[in-house]
A and B are shown apart, each in its own frame.
Chain A
């Protein structure tokens, strides 16, 4: 219990610090939101005087001292109010996040799980067959990982989307058939089709990391005495592989996986941009390029809380799995 209490206090302080930084960092960015918005509007032709007047009204800026702004900010967060986005004025930040979050969770979440599963199983297999031709898979996936993400996405769009016409290249669903995704079989299939290329991009670029980590852990685990013992006992190789080797080798990867899952909520900036896919990453881009503090804070807060919660859960679970951590935690 004492261990849990310490942990809770630690996380409470971390959360407060993160939330405060969250307030400060956007305000240190250069740029006046009104000037940016007017500049962008002017790039697309006429800015009517009525609109300019409105921009000044909306973005007139707060003359409140920073300290008062900070208290108001904390107060709003406690009440679950994330404020109003200025770049999508007058849309509340929470509504923007609420619309984007399911897409991000499903697509980036599923892709992360798939990449992890392939990485662990594949890594285990390659580690098991170390020294065989399978080892050549490793440099190939490492290459995929080192290719700039953006470039990989463009290549997939070009070959699979444009040349072969295998999958749609934009949007989360077929906007030319459905105004909104529906709970019908055809629409669900359609949503899956639109997820193919975005998910493939994430999987291809992420799988290499899991694969190489798992393979190396397998190789060192297989050298352990208990594996030799198991083999000497005459256990079937399959049992030695899955029950003795993989279970132990996968432990470090699972810790990394938890963090990767936590970061799922921040979306995937490049993927969402290239495929015009709905998601949280897009909100981040919009927020940063328009100096939209409220939206930026909302997205940061979401990510911060998700990472902390997952870490907290991991800590608690580890504390019970491995009693040693309780005394050193």
Chain B
């Protein structure tokens, strides 16, 4: 008994001692951490050997990071798209100028739009030293994963010319073909057995950077300057090392930006002044519309009061967009156009000045008039009803998307003032994606993906065309986003007609038809254009896109554009 007592006390003592020493080690470590961190921060401004300064980027990757540099994989890491692999041209989502040539030099559609002749640069090398030729380009467009269904043939007619042939006019796929198709080296990929499972841990590309071997961990990975980059002779990229880190929350990222440990990121920060006060560069380039998705089409199986156009029209005048922007989006959003053309960039495509902007303030009287004209009467409860049925809708948003949640609450209270009963509620992300995919909803807060070129066409085709949707209950097909189940023969015909011409005047005629219909039918009720915020270190690096020189879409997560920006940066000494 006594012996066991003693043994036990020894065990307890050891446990305690180890616990305490761990704790001490932790505390000691903490104070040392302070020393090193202050040292680092005093070293930085002196700018010693600044060309070796590593640029730290958060492009939205969450931990654990898993090595994957296959540009066709949904789990591909950001550095693969732009910094390592490049398409032929870089299109600027934030401007309306011509695309920047990367591997391509020029391109020309045939008059009927069924063939595209591309000239590519000569003398370019892959990062492993092998020459890049038009054959690689033809290979990429023939590769099962990257080949769009409409391509009938892709052929390299000589070392710098590729001719693509299509089964129909493809003017409107210019961006998709030239700006998103990452060119891969035939001499590597011809040996890849299963491209879906291929993680491409040693990527060979043409971009300004190559992966630093062995640098991928669960928390970060590093890319270094590609010695075979075509502009290497001009000293590009001047920033020789770029580290991509993984982080799990915006707050965490914001703190690290403030500490100077992250030099470039694109994320939502409500209190911008707190960051810019530290001398950190900031630019806001609103791009993507936030809307209320409505399951609008009873013919496709939608149910609820929102299937009546009058209700949607009343709703769009009943909401106070300025208030929603100020309160839910911290005043960072931009004014949306009901034509879904991006104001400022796509102005020339707006065919009627009356459709330029969605109303910015609430007009309950106008909403009441629309409803009353459509046969609704106000009940004793203050809500409109028709045929004995009160207009009562649920507006759902994914829990945790706080800007959407707040916007939904505001919309509900504004609609109430106009006699429309809306209940705002939150659902899990899974239920949300399920609801919008299957069409089993009344109203959802939802985003529309802004177009990557100065033309709203892609939105009309993917979000409004009847051939881009399915019956309620059937999920949408790939590349189609018509969650509203909207289907209008006039719009469909105009989309098809616009796709087959490259003539601006003729396209505008078709756009006029589309815009007239969607402004009136409102299957998506536009709310605002979302902020796209970018924060960057302007003390140690220059060459960032600015409001005056918006040569590329600025956020660090931008596919293709991030590679162009990185190659353009210069370390400051």
Bound pair: A and B?
yes
Q: Which of A10-18, A164-172, A210-218, A303-311 contacts B (4 or more CB under 8 A)?
A: A164-172
Q: Which of A1-9, A138-146, A283-291 contacts B (4 or more CB under 8 A)?
A: A283-291
A48 touches B54 (CB 8 A): no
Over the window 275-319 of chain A, the binary record of Cβ atoms lying under 8 Å from chain B Cβ atoms (1 yes, 0 no) is 110100011001001010000000000000000000000000000
A89 to B479, CA, bound (A): 21
Contact check: which of A50, A56, A91 meets B181 at CB < 8 Å? A50
Interface size on A, residues (CB 8 A): 81
B315 to chain A, nearest CB (A): 24
A54 touches B145 (CB 8 A): yes
B255 touches A161 (CB 8 A): yes
A166 touches B30 (CB 8 A): yes
A166 touches B557 (CB 8 A): no
Question: Which chain B residues border A88 with CB–CB below 8 Å?
Answer: 64, 66, 68, 75
Contact check: which of A46, A49, A199 meets B559 at CB < 8 Å? A46
Contact check: which of B33, B256, B481 meets A167 at CB < 8 Å? B33
Across the interface, name the chain B residue whose C-beta is closest to A161: B255
Over the window 173-199 of chain A, the binary record of Cβ atoms lying under 8 Å from chain B Cβ atoms (1 yes, 0 no) is 101100110000000010011011001
A254 to B452, CA, bound (A): 61
A90 touches B197 (CB 8 A): yes
A87 to B33, CA, bound (A): 35
B152 to chain A, nearest CB (A): 16
Say yes or no: is B301 at the interface (Cβ < 8 Å to chain A).
no
Question: Which chain A residues border B68 with CB–CB below 8 Å?
Answer: 88
B449 touches A45 (CB 8 A): yes
A157 to B247, CA, bound (A): 15
Say yes or no: is A117 at the interface (Cβ < 8 Å to chain B).
yes
Over the window 38-81 of chain B, the binary record of Cβ atoms lying under 8 Å from chain A Cβ atoms (1 yes, 0 no) is 10000000000000001010001011101010011111100000
Say yes or no: is B475 at the interface (Cβ < 8 Å to chain A).
yes
Contact check: which of B29, B72, B180 meets A189 at CB < 8 Å? B29
Say yes or no: is A74 at the interface (Cβ < 8 Å to chain B).
no
A170 to B248, CA, bound (A): 9
Say yes or no: is B322 at the interface (Cβ < 8 Å to chain A).
no
Contact check: which of B60, B214, B219, B481 meets A175 at CB < 8 Å? B219
Known: A175-B217, A175-B220. A282 touches B447 (CB 8 A): no
Question: Which chain B residues border A286 with CB–CB below 8 Å?
Answer: 62, 64
Say yes or no: is A243 at the interface (Cβ < 8 Å to chain B).
yes
A34 to chain B, nearest CB (A): 8
Residues B526-554 near A (CB distance < 8 A): none
Question: Which chain B residues border A44 with CB–CB below 8 Å?
Answer: 60, 557
Say yes or no: is A233 at the interface (Cβ < 8 Å to chain B).
no
Contact check: which of A50, A89, A165 meets B37 at CB < 8 Å? A165
A110 to B25, CA, bound (A): 12
Q: Which of B8-16, B326-334, B338-346 contacts A (4 or more CB under 8 A)?
A: B8-16
B449 touches A42 (CB 8 A): yes
Residues A99-133 near B (CB distance < 8 A): 99-100, 110, 113-114, 117-118, 121
A272 touches B248 (CB 8 A): yes
Say yes or no: is A31 at the interface (Cβ < 8 Å to chain B).
yes
Say yes or no: is B490 at the interface (Cβ < 8 Å to chain A).
no
Across the interface, name the chain B residue whose C-beta is closest to A178: B217
Say yes or no: is A227 at the interface (Cβ < 8 Å to chain B).
no
Say yes or no: is B34 at the interface (Cβ < 8 Å to chain A).
yes
Say yes or no: is A220 at the interface (Cβ < 8 Å to chain B).
no
A67 to B323, CA, bound (A): 53
B176 touches A48 (CB 8 A): yes
A122 to chain B, nearest CB (A): 11
Question: Which chain A residues border B222 with CB–CB below 8 Å?
Answer: 179
Across the interface, name the chain A residue whose C-beta is closest to B398: A39
A179 touches B214 (CB 8 A): yes
Q: Between A and B, how many residue pairs show CB distances below 8 Å? A: 222
Say yes or no: is B516 at the interface (Cβ < 8 Å to chain A).
no
Say yes or no: is B369 at the interface (Cβ < 8 Å to chain A).
no
Which of B218, B247, B429 is most buried by chain A, counting CB atoms within 10 A of its CB? B218
A117 to B180, CA, bound (A): 57
Say yes or no: is A232 at the interface (Cβ < 8 Å to chain B).
no
Over the window 259-271 of chain B, the binary record of Cβ atoms lying under 8 Å from chain A Cβ atoms (1 yes, 0 no) is 1010000000000
A113 to B26, CA, bound (A): 14
Question: Which chain A residues border B23 with CB–CB below 8 Å?
Answer: 114
B64 touches A165 (CB 8 A): no
Known: A166-B33, A179-B215. A50 touches B72 (CB 8 A): yes
Question: Which chain B residues border A170 with CB–CB below 8 Å?
Answer: 247, 252, 255-256, 261
Known: A30-B428, A50-B146, A165-B34. A179 touches B217 (CB 8 A): yes
Residues B187-237 near A (CB distance < 8 A): 196-197, 199, 212, 214-215, 217-220, 222
Say yes or no: is A242 at the interface (Cβ < 8 Å to chain B).
yes
Say yes or no: is B558 at the interface (Cβ < 8 Å to chain A).
yes
Over the window 17-38 of chain B, the binary record of Cβ atoms lying under 8 Å from chain A Cβ atoms (1 yes, 0 no) is 0111011011111111110011
Question: Which chain A residues border B72 with CB–CB below 8 Å?
Answer: 50-51, 53-54
Which of A175, A195, A275 is most buried by chain B, counting CB atoms within 10 A of its CB? A175
A121 touches B64 (CB 8 A): no
Contact check: which of B31, B176, B258, B430 meets A29 at CB < 8 Å? B430
Say yes or no: is B246 at the interface (Cβ < 8 Å to chain A).
yes
Q: Which of B360-368, B376-384, B431-439 contacts A (4 or more CB under 8 A)?
A: B431-439
Question: Which chain A residues border B252 with CB–CB below 8 Å?
Answer: 157, 169-170, 274-276
B428 touches A54 (CB 8 A): no
A53 to B8, CA, bound (A): 63
Question: Which chain A residues border B19 with CB–CB below 8 Å?
Answer: 113-114, 117-118
B479 touches A169 (CB 8 A): no
Known: A46-B180, A175-B243. A35 touches B74 (CB 8 A): no
A114 to B20, CA, bound (A): 7
Question: Which chain A residues border B259 with CB–CB below 8 Å?
Answer: 162, 169
Say yes or no: is B148 at the interface (Cβ < 8 Å to chain A).
yes
A273 touches B33 (CB 8 A): no
A175 touches B196 (CB 8 A): no
Known: A165-B38, A273-B249. A37 touches B74 (CB 8 A): yes
A88 to B25, CA, bound (A): 35
B197 touches A166 (CB 8 A): no
Over the window 56-67 of chain A, the binary record of Cβ atoms lying under 8 Å from chain B Cβ atoms (1 yes, 0 no) is 111000000000
Question: Which chain B residues border A243 with CB–CB below 8 Å?
Answer: 5, 9
Contact check: which of B176, B255, B478 meets A157 at CB < 8 Å? B255
Question: Which chain A residues border B145 with CB–CB below 8 Å?
Answer: 50, 53-54
Across the interface, name the chain A residue whose C-beta is closest to B65: A88
Say yes or no: is B245 at the interface (Cβ < 8 Å to chain A).
yes
B479 touches A49 (CB 8 A): yes
Known: A56-B478, A117-B19, A278-B63. A36 touches B26 (CB 8 A): no
A86 to chain B, nearest CB (A): 9
Contact check: which of A30, A43, A58, A289 meets B447 at CB < 8 Å? A43
A32 touches B475 (CB 8 A): yes
A171 to B261, CA, bound (A): 12
Question: Which chain A residues border B93 with CB–CB below 8 Å?
Answer: 45
Say yes or no: is A27 at the interface (Cβ < 8 Å to chain B).
no
Say yes or no: is A154 at the interface (Cβ < 8 Å to chain B).
yes
Contact check: which of A48, A175, A291 meets B180 at CB < 8 Å? A48
Which A residues lie at the B interface, using CB under 8 A? 29-32, 35-39, 41-58, 87-91, 96, 99-100, 110, 113-114, 117-118, 121, 154, 157, 160-162, 164-173, 175-176, 179-180, 189, 192-193, 195-196, 199-200, 242-243, 247, 272-276, 278, 282-283, 286, 289, 291
Can you name 23 A-B pairs with beta carbons within 8 Å? A31-B430, A36-B429, A45-B93, A49-B180, A50-B71, A53-B145, A54-B145, A58-B196, A89-B73, A114-B19, A154-B251, A166-B31, A166-B33, A167-B29, A167-B33, A168-B33, A169-B252, A172-B219, A175-B243, A195-B29, A276-B63, A282-B248, A289-B430
Chain A to chain B: the 10 pairs with minimum beta-carbon distance, closest first:
A31-B430, A117-B19, A192-B29, A175-B220, A193-B33, A193-B29, A52-B478, A35-B437, A39-B433, A90-B197
Beyond A52-B479, A165-B34, A282-B64, 5 additional contacts (C-beta under 8 Å) are A49-B479, A52-B478, A114-B23, A179-B212, A195-B29
